[in-house]
Structure 1
Amino acid sequence: MLSGTAAAHFSDRLDVDVAPGSEDGVVDIEEDETVPVAVSPVGFTTEDGERVTFDPTERPVRYRFGSRDALGDGGGARPVDDGEVIETGDGREALLLEFPVEASGLEADDNTARLYWERDESGNHGYSGSDSVTVVGPVPSEGELVGLFRQLLIDFLGGAR
């Protein structure tokens, strides 16, 4: 059966740096309200053989950021504003955007964050990029730790019989 909706397509082309200046790209989903993401210019050849330079400082700000699951469902975080142009360590300009952490869908077990740029208002086609992240989640309470330890002991001792 054919559907009337085409699948979204986002070619992996963007040069993305989550939490620029941080080696590990740390995102604290408990403490941080926003996460900074830098998008740098990048050149590539399309499937049609056309040479393209994507310069985020010259493109409309139509981005979504977050986990693969959040973005796959058409969600993810939208930037809080149009961002600011910054200079990277290698002297190039990049667009620095801030995204609300809560809307990103990132969870403590995620190790990659993705960024989609939507070519037009439909939101179905554009470019994507990803970066490795370390997501820090909520710290378990003392009671939760005691409960986990108790369960580990039960599992360990129960299996030793």
Structure 2
Amino acid sequence: MKEDATARAYGMYDEMGIFPALCRHGFVLVIVDMGQVRFAITAHLICVLGKLGLGYDIGCKFAEMVCMHPALAKLAADNDFKALVGAFHGHAHNRRCQLCNLTTYVHGVGLEDLEGCEKSFSKSNALAATTQYATVFHRQQAITSYLRHADTADAYQGLL
């Protein structure tokens, strides 16, 4: 599909989905409706946490975009920002990308697979049936309630 046609198609929808940021334990740090929010979330997390490494399906390309971003490039460089590729998606990338961006080859990351969002999305698929035709308010209310429950029932329990 051509990019201009894709942009018009996405413009037809009020909401396209959610973009979450989870810590390595599975707690939701930030969640917003999808759009051009990746940079806003990244800036927010860098300001709050300082030195930051995050996993993203396209972490290699995202790191390049952050380095070129007029408002975010200096903040990211000053805080030693690193965007990595999660283990599940990383094996589809070329060897050079894997050596630079997979957690297996990056010192200090440990055994993290950086696929917390994938796991969260998999668990939350049941929400689709109840939120598909809901109003914006009720959709956001259902997602918020689900994520609070997931933090309490899953993430806290995983710490024990």
Normalising by the smaller structure, the TM-score range is under 0.3
More helix per residue: 1 or 2? Answer: 2
More strand per residue: 1 or 2? Answer: 1
Q: TM-score, normalization: structure 1?
A: 0.21
Q: TM-score, normalization: structure 2?
A: 0.21
Largest Rg, 1 or 2: 1
**Which structure is higher in RCO with an 8 Å CA cutoff and minimum separation 6?**
1
